[in-house]
Structure 1
Amino acid sequence: MSSSNGTPPIDGNQANGLDAAEKPRLTEEEKKQNHIASEQKRRQAIREGFDRLCELVPGLEGMGRSEGIVLQRTVEFMRTQLEERRELINRIEGAGGAVDDELKKELLYEQESIKRNAARVNGKGKGR
């Protein structure tokens, strides 16, 4: 539909300076509420992650928790698991069995990764 002068009609959004494809801008209050909702969602995801760690790591079930303690015990648990895996590989090979080289490479990589990250956390790594 054209107006009598040959230009297309103007809808309400165009009259307000908005193209038809543009959405109306959020108010400051809407932006604030969106930010609050996003932050609550992020915090909930972190809480759920810590809850999951508490379920998986022995000794953390049912404890009131400090996130620092949960992380510390998780790292200790991972180190123990890696050490046990290394000992199993040694026992298998000591008994004449074969262990896939890829498994040994993964173990070595994981152990080195933990050492690097521990050094960084303790202030001994790069950038500190």
Structure 2
Amino acid sequence: KQALLSPSQKKANHIQSEQKRRANIRRGYEALCETVPALREAILLEEQEQAAASGRRNDSRGGGTKKGKGKAKRGSQDDIEKADGRAGPRSENVVLQKTIDYIQDLISERSALLTRLHAAAAVLPPTHPSHPSRLPSEERLWEREWTGGHGHEDEDEEYDE
């Protein structure tokens, strides 16, 4: 039998698993930031503004050379800019809201395209090869429910031959 963990080992395991959980959440938010166009644009704009602000600060210091001793206060200008309470484009609230907006836009765009498809299919004569009544009745690939790539292994086997 394995001995029970000491309190310090339990604490270390808990800290490690919590760090892993937070890293996974962070990766998920980063993936959303890369995927959602409005977030990509907002982040790019923020980076450009920060680069421009940093360039202005260097110019005002006389060519970017340091004068005096000691460390410069890091982020003090950014703190002033964010003091009005606005969240940057990477904040959880902004990421989630922009993602929801993007998904809603995709759903409405899909609905509009389906409406156009049905309208176009309605004007086709029944003898036309692309008329919906002449197409196979099996479910189209893009209309299948996504299962995360699991549960349809037998379908893949028929293509392996």
Is the pair's TM-score, using the shorter chain for normalization, greater than 0.5?
yes
Q: What stretches of structure 2 of length at least 5 have no aligned partner?
A: 44-88, 122-130, 144-161
Matched residue, 2:116: 91
TM-score, length-normalised on structure 2?
0.47
Q: Distance in 2 between matches of 1:53 and 1:101?
A: 33
Larger radius of gyration: 1
Select the residue among 76, 81, 86 that pairs with 2:101.
76
2:7 aligned partner, one-letter code: E
Q: State, as a whole percentage, how many aligned pairs show the same letter.
A: 42
Q: Distance in 2 between matches of 1:68 and 1:38?
A: 24
2:13 aligned partner, one-letter code: N
Q: Distance in 1 between matches of 2:101 and 2:139?
A: 24
1:95 is displaced (CA, Å) by 1.0
Select the residue among 71, 76, 91 that pairs with 1:66.
91
Report the count of equivalent residues: 85
Q: What stretches of structure 1 of length at least 5 have no aligned partner?
A: 1-21, 107-128
Mark the CA change 1:48 to 1:77 in structure 2 (over 3 Å): closer, same or farther: same
1:73 aligned partner, one-letter code: K
Runs of 4+ in 1 over 3 A off after TM superposition: 97-103
Superposition CA RMSD, Å: 2.6
Q: Distance in 1 between matches of 2:21 and 2:4?
A: 24
TM-score, length-normalised on structure 1?
0.58
